[in-house]
A = this chain, B = another copy of it.
């Protein structure tokens, strides 16, 4: 079994108009910048995919990565917890102009909904958001005398994920807090596409230390020296990047 693909274009092939795409990362940590840029390249060349529903904790920063995806006009709706950043101008302007929809989800509920999607749990109850505007229209029920809000799973057609090491089976490790939503999104997507800094041989990853078992991963592409979103933004980069 070999889930590795040769290049980024092959990795993001199959993502079509209107699909739901989960994108890993918390701010810049764990953001699969190169996969996102490959998707933008395809859009620039073909006009597709567009009308995407994107799930991410944030809404992009500056003019690279997720912000560039939004700026390109490829995203119809964003499902996130915190659409603010050091430089949130791209999302902010499009949102205030009514050009992009927003579903705001508390961060823990977002994580749990994604995990539920991956784990076959169609709905669960959480105390989070009870009594707030974000619970409006949602089913509320008491357990042991305390009120809880019912939330539905989140699933995706594709997930774009950044990992540290991958083997040909798709077993993954991450780097520090770049882990964040990435393992959950692998679980919740029909096709999890992973950019890994290092592809190693089967058996080279300690089976005790594998964070995402390969069953949750469909495609892996090596990106040996990935960009860090924070570094790009500190350099005021925009996409397409200058060579």
Which chain A residues have a beta carbon within 8 Å of chain B's beta carbons? 112, 116, 119-127, 141, 143-144, 146, 148, 152, 173-176, 206-209, 211
Contact = CB atoms under 8 A, between A and B. Distances in A.
Nearest to A174: B208
Contacts of A175: 208
B124 A121 contact: yes
Contact of A123 (B122, B125, B207, B209): B125
A124 B116 contact: yes
Nearest to A173: B208
Instruction: Please give me the 8 A-B residue pairs with the lowest Cβ-Cβ distance, nearest first.
Output: A122-B143, A124-B124, A209-B209, A123-B125, A121-B124, A122-B125, A122-B148, A123-B143
A120 B109 CA distance: 11
A120 B124 CA distance: 10
Nearest to A206: B209
Given A208-B173, A209-B208, A126 B120 contact: yes
